[in-house]
Amino acid sequence: MALECKVCLPVASVGRVGMGVGLLDESLLTGESLPTLRTEGQDVIGGSTLISGALQVEVIAVGKRTVLEQMVEVVKTAQQDKPPIQQLADRLSAIFVPVVLLISVLTFFGSYFLLDISMGQALLRAIAVLVVSCPCAMGLATPTAVMVGVGRLARLGVLIKGGRTVEQLANVKHLVFDKTGTLTTGKFRIESAEYPSGEMKLANALVWEMEKHSSHPIAQSLRQALDGVPRAQEMPELEIKEQRGIGMLAEGTDGHIYRLGSRRLLDAEANCAGDIFLLQDEEIMAVFKLGDDLKSGATKAIGELQNQGLQIHVLSGDQEAKTQRVAETLAVANYYAEQLPAQKLVKIKELSQTGPTAMVGDGINDAPALAQADLGISLSNASQVAIQSAKVVLLNGRIDVLPQAVGVAEKTVQTIRQNLFWAFAYNIVAIPVAALGFLNPMLGALFMACSDVIVIGNSIRLKYKKV
């Protein structure tokens, strides 16, 4: 099966290169932001996009043997491993209802047989106990607060799958972020440039001219970055050609050979940090380090989340150096680079053992970790498998709303507890009063309705609480 530029191998298949050389974007599954070189005899992951070159690929795995299908199985296993979270109201109601029924029965028999009260009066006391303790307030305590909380989150652009998710979001201790596409835009930029030869303007002009002949996304990024920097006005005429999988080659009228490309241009023992290199013959003229732009508001959001007491982690399939730079920019001490989907899954399991863990990701490679985490958070522009594996979806890919979302979730849980406390305290006072005959069923119904109004009013207050 021959692949042309910009055509990708079906996600459900895995292939092997039979002929040709090409650069593949494998970020869909690996999270690696830079293209990967693939040559004859090397394997190709299903879902990769050919962005440069030409390949003839033989499909060698389909169905359950593919990387994607194996990942789907990992997701299913992770979902089955998670224990269900029981809400506080359910646990209280399971105890409260039988106790109230028992108190009502004891009230009837105690009043009739021990206190020598008529059967009619004893029955009214028993009914009053049931009416005044009707668990409406307890039943409304959780759903009313959740309804208001979820509505407020929706206005922030945070969609919640199920009321239990609010409680999970409020209790998160570890928040793990994928890097590429989640914290960063995934678009390349020049992070720094060095000119060992000292000829900055000439080097910039050479790079700008040579990259005109390349359709590689990094080439476009370099040209855009160099548009506003000083460049030499005079330079040798160049005969330029592209070397697939290596870079650009130019022969100048000044007798020099210029090469522009990745580290593959350097000798194996060369000790020079960078991503893109410009060489004049064998001398390095320029070194460019590439990076991803952080998403708008990412730095502020991470800082606010840390101030809220959350432990922040960066978990990426990208290179160590790039992951470290992003983590240091965001002031995040815990980061893990070059992580495959299975390794991300293991790391999430480890963190979950020390506290409730949420994973924020957007790619297919993040799906197992999203499913394994106590709470999965995805972006609305993420892959469908990531969205399906998550319980929280951030609209428009905005992670800057996460601090507010966590705050609203915490206020929602706080409101639920306040409602439950009021409902429980009301019953503690009202039941003895009704059992002793000081409250007839009609007044009991009125007081029960008042307790409902108080619970509903407290829940509505959540809509206006400052977060």
Is 59 within a domain? yes
Q: Are residues 173 and 314 in the same domain?
A: yes
Same domain? 266 vs 201:
yes
Question: Are residues 287 and 312 located together in one domain of the fold?
Answer: no
Q: Output the pLDDT for position 65.
A: 62
The pLDDT of residue 88 is 58
339 and 318 share one domain: yes
Q: What is the pLDDT of residue 191?
A: 78
379 falls within a domain: yes
Note the pLDDT of residue 83: 32
Q: Are residues 299 and 174 in the same domain?
A: yes
Same domain, 299 and 435: no
What is the pTM assigned to this prediction? 0.67
Is residue 341 one of the residues assigned to a domain? Answer: yes
What domain range includes position 196? 186-293
Q: Quick one: 193 and 289 in the same domain?
A: yes
Domain boundary among 376, 405, 434: 405
Low-confidence ranges of the chain (pLDDT < 70): 1-13, 27-34, 63-90, 92, 135, 186-187, 215-217, 244-245, 268-270, 364, 381-385
Q: Is 178 in the active site?
A: yes
Residue 83 located in a structural domain: no
CATH at 276 = 3.40.1110.10
CATH code, domain with 356: 3.40.50.1000
Same domain for 56 and 92, yes or no, is no
- Classify residue 77: in a domain, yes or no: no
For residues 201 and 220, state if they share a domain: yes
The residue from 387, 405, 423 where one domain ends is 405
Q: How many domains does the chain have?
A: 4
- Residue 73 placed within a domain: no
Domain assignment of residue 163, yes or no:
yes
Q: What is the 3-state secondary structure (H, E, C) of the chain?
A: CEECCCCECCCCEEEEEEEEEEEEECHHHHCCCCCEEECCCCEECCCCEEEEEEEEEEEEEEHHHCHHHHHHHHHHHHHHHCCCCCCHHHHHHHHHHHHHHHHHHHHHHHHHHHCCCCHHHHHHHHHHHHHHCCCHHHHHHHHHHHHHHHHHHHHHCEEECCCHHHHHHHCCCEEEECCCCCCEEEEEEEEEEECCCCCHHHHHHHHHHHHHHCCCHHHHHHHHHHCCCCCCCCCCCEEEEEECCCEEEEEECCCCEEEEECHHHCCCCCCCCCCEEEEECCEEEEEEEEEEEECCCHHHHHHHHHHCCCEEEEECCCCHHHHHHHHHHCCCCEEECCCCHHHHHHHHHHHHCCCCEEEEECCHHHHHHHHHCCEEEEECCCCHHHHHHCCEEEHHHCCCCHHHHHHHHHHHHHHHHHHHHHHHHHHHHHHHHHHCCCCCHHHHHHHHHHHHHHHHHHHHHCCCCCC
Of the candidates 90, 116, 178, 366, the residue annotated as catalytic is 178
Answer whether residue 400 is part of any domain: yes
pLDDT at 147: 84
Do residues 36 and 116 share a domain?
A: no
Q: Please tell me whether residues 318 and 396 are part of one structural domain.
A: yes
166 and 299 both lie in a single domain: yes
Q: Last residue of some domain: 238, 263, 293?
A: 293
